[in-house]
C-alpha cells in the first residue's frame, strides 16, 4: 500500500514537472519580441521572469513530494538569486530606457523647435533681404537726388565754390571765374591767391586807448577807441585743416577804384580717405560799402548830436542809457562808456530818482510826451533849474520803444526873466517920465508918467521921434542921439 502511495506521488510530480516544462517551453518558444505599451516597454520580459519564478517554486514544491527527483539543494536559492539579478537588470534597463527615451524626446523636441526657428529665421532673413533691397533702392534714389541737388547748388549758387586737396583746386563752379577774374581751367590745378597766407590787422582795445579820450567809442555802443596792430601772416588753409572751419574776409583793390571784398569760409572734410577743403567765396562788396556809408551817416549823426548844447539821452524800456551826448557827459563829469552801464536815475539825487523812474514808466505806458521843469543840483552842489522834454520813439521795424530826453539848464534864463520883471515894475512905477529910444531917436517904450506928460497914447508915441513927441526945437538932436548910441 505504501508502494502505491509512493507511485501516485511520483506520478503527480512527474505530471507537475511535465506541466511546468510545457509552460516553460511555451514561454521560451514564444516570439522573441512582443509589442508592449510605449510607457512600459519591458512588460513582456517582466512576465517571462514572473513565469520562471513560478516554475522554480513549482519545481521546489515537487521536490518535496519526490525527493528522488529533487534538484540540488542550492537550486532554488541560485534560481532566486539569478531571477533577482535579472529583475534588477530589468529595472536598470527600464530606467536607462526611460532616460534615453526622455533624452530622445527632448532631442526630438529641440530638433523640432530648431527646425521651426530655422524656418522663422529663414522667413525673417527673406523679409530682411527684401527690406534691405528696398532700403538700398531708396538709398540709391536718395543718393541720386542728393547728388543732383549738390550739382544744382554747386552750379547755380551765387557763391563761388572750390574743392581743394593738398593746396590744389580739384573742382570749382562757374562763379569762380567771374569772382576771381580768371578762366575755370586756369583755376583747376592751381592754388588761388585768395587763400594764400596774408598779413592781418587786428583791432584791439587797450587801457591807453581809453585814457586817451574821456568819452571813448561810438556813441550809444559803449565802444572805445582801439589800437590797431599787425600780426604775422596766417595761413587760412592750414587753419581750416587744424580747426575744421575757418572764416575770414579778404580785400582786393581794383585798378579803377572798383575795390572788392570777399567773405571766405573754409571747411575741411574727409573724402575717400583723404582730407579735402571746401571753400565758399562770397562777394560782400555791397555790404561793405553799405557798412561804410552807414558808418559815415552814424558819425555825422553823432557829430550833430554832440554839437547840441542841451543834454540828450536815449533810454530803453529797462531805463538803461543807450545813447548820451557830450553835453550829458560834461554835465555829470562821467565817461560815456561808464554812463552807458547805468540809468538816468543813477545820476539824480536820491529823493528825485524814484520820481524819475515813475515818470519814465508813465511815458512807456501811455506814450504821451512830457514837458517839465525839474530842480536839481549842479556839479558844485548848487541848485539849478532844468527844462526837460521827454518823448516816446518806437522802432517801426522791431517795435521796440525808446524814450528820447533833452535837458536844458534854464537857471540863468529864469533869473534874467525875474530881473526883467523887476525892471518892468520899476519902469512902470517910476515917478518920472521915462522913455526908451532906438538909435534913431524913436520912442520904443514909455512908462505911464511919460505918456501923461506927452499927452498921447502908445500907438501915437511909439512911431514918432522924441523931439517930435515933446515938440522940442532942438536942431542938433540927431547928432546927440548918434553920439549917445556910439
Question: Tens of pLDDT along 116-134?
Answer: 988 899 999 999 999 999 9
* For range 304-318, the mean pLDDT: 90
Q: In CATH, which of 3.40.50.2300, 3.40.640.10, 3.30.450.20, 1.10.10.10 is domain 308-414?
A: 3.30.450.20
pLDDT band at 147 (very low <50, low <70, confident <90, very high): confident
For the chain, give every domain's residue range: 2-120, 160-286, 308-414, 430-485
pLDDT band at 320 (very low <50, low <70, confident <90, very high): very high
| pLDDT computed for residue 209 by the predictor | 43
SS3 41: coil
| pLDDT computed for residue 416 by the predictor | 86
Q: Return d(Cα 66, Cα 69) in angstroms, integer.
A: 6
Q: Which residue has the higher pLDDT, 107 or 465?
A: 107
* For range 355-375, the mean pLDDT: 88
Question: In the CATH scheme, what is the homologous superfamily, with its name and number, of domain 160-286?
Answer: PAS domain (3.30.450.20)
| pLDDT computed for residue 443 by the predictor | 80
CA dihedral for 363, 320, 327, 332, sign (positive or negative): positive
pLDDT band at 144 (very low <50, low <70, confident <90, very high): confident
Q: Which residues pair with 45 in a beta bridge?
A: none
SS3 160: strand
pTM of the model as a whole: 0.47
pLDDT band at 206 (very low <50, low <70, confident <90, very high): very low
Q: Which residues pair with 446 in a beta bridge?
A: 435
- For 263, the grid coordinates are 567773405
Tell me whether domains 160-286 and 308-414 share a fold: yes
Amino acid at each position: 500500500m505504501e508502494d502505491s502511495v509512493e507511485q501516485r506521488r511520483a506520478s503527480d510530480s512527474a505530471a507537475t514537472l511535465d506541466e511546468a516544462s510545457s509552460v516553460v517551453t511555451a514561454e521560451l518558444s514564444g516570439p522573441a519580441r512582443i509589442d508592449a505599451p510605449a510607457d512600459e516597454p519591458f512588460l513582456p520580459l517582466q512576465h517571462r521572469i514572473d513565469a520562471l519564478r513560478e516554475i522554480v517554486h513549482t519545481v521546489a514544491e515537487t521536490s518535496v513530494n519526490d525527493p528522488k527527483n529533487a534538484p540540488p539543494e542550492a537550486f532554488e536559492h541560485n534560481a532566486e538569486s539569478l531571477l533577482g539579478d535579472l529583475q534588477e537588470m530589468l529595472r536598470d534597463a527600464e530606467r536607462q530606457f526611460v532616460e534615453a527615451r526622455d533624452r530622445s524626446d527632448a532631442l526630438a523636441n529641440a530638433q523640432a523647435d530648431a527646425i521651426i526657428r530655422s524656418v522663422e529665421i529663414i522667413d525673417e532673413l527673406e523679409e530682411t533681404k527684401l527690406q534691405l533691397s528696398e532700403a538700398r533702392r531708396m538709398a540709391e534714389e536718395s543718393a541720386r537726388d542728393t547728388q543732383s541737388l549738390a550739382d544744382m547748388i554747386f552750379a547755380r549758387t551765387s557763391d563761388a565754390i572750390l574743392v581743394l586737396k593738398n593746396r590744389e583746386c580739384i573742382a570749382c563752379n562757374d562763379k569762380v571765374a567771374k569772382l576771381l577774374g580768371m578762366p575755370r581751367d586756369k583755376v583747376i590745378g592751381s592754388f588761388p591767391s585768395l587763400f594764400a597766407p596774408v598779413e592781418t590787422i587786428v583791432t584791439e582795445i587797450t587801457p591807453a586807448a581809453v585814457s586817451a579820450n574821456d568819452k571813448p567809442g561810438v556813441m550809444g555802443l559803449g565802444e572805445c577807441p582801439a589800437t590797431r596792430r599787425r600780426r604775422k601772416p596766417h595761413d587760412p588753409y592750414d587753419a581750416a585743416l587744424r580747426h575744421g572751419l575757418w572764416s575770414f574776409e579778404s580785400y582786393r583793390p581794383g585798378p579803377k577804384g572798383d575795390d572788392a571784398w570777399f567773405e571766405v569760409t573754409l571747411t575741411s572734410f574727409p573724402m575717400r580717405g583723404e582730407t579735402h577743403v571746401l571753400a565758399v567765396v562770397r562777394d560782400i562788396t555791397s555790404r561793405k560799402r553799405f557798412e561804410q556809408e552807414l558808418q559815415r551817416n552814424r558819425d555825422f549823426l553823432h557829430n550833430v548830436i554832440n554839437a547840441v548844447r542841451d543834454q540828450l539821452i536815449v533810454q530803453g524800456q529797462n531805463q538803461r542809457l543807450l545813447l548820451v551826448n557830450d553835453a550829458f557827459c560834461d554835465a555829470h563829469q562821467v565817461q560815456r562808456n561808464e554812463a552807458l552801464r547805468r540809468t538816468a536815475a543813477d545820476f539824480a539825487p536820491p529823493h528825485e530818482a524814484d520820481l524819475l523812474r515813475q515818470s519814465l514808466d508813465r511815458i512807456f505806458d501811455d506814450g504821451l510826451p512830457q514837458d517839465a521843469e525839474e530842480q536839481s543840483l549842479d556839479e558844485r552842489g548848487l541848485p539849478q533849474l532844468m527844462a526837460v522834454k521827454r518823448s516816446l520813439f518806437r522802432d517801426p521795424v522791431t517795435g521796440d520803444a525808446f524814450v528820447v530826453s533833452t535837458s536844458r539848464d534854464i537857471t540863468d534864463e529864469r533869473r534874467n526873466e525875474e530881473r526883467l520883471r523887476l525892471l518892468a515894475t520899476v519902469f512902470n512905477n517910476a515917478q518920472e517920465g521915462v522913455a526908451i529910444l532906438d538909435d534913431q531917436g524913436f520912442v520904443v517904450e514909455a512908462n505911464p508918467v511919460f505918456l501923461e506928460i506927452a499927452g498921447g497914447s502908445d500907438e501915437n508915441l511909439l512911431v514918432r521921434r522924441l523931439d517930435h513927441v515933446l515938440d522940442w526945437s532942438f536942431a542938433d538932436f540927431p547928432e546927440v542921439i548918434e553920439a549917445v548910441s556910439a
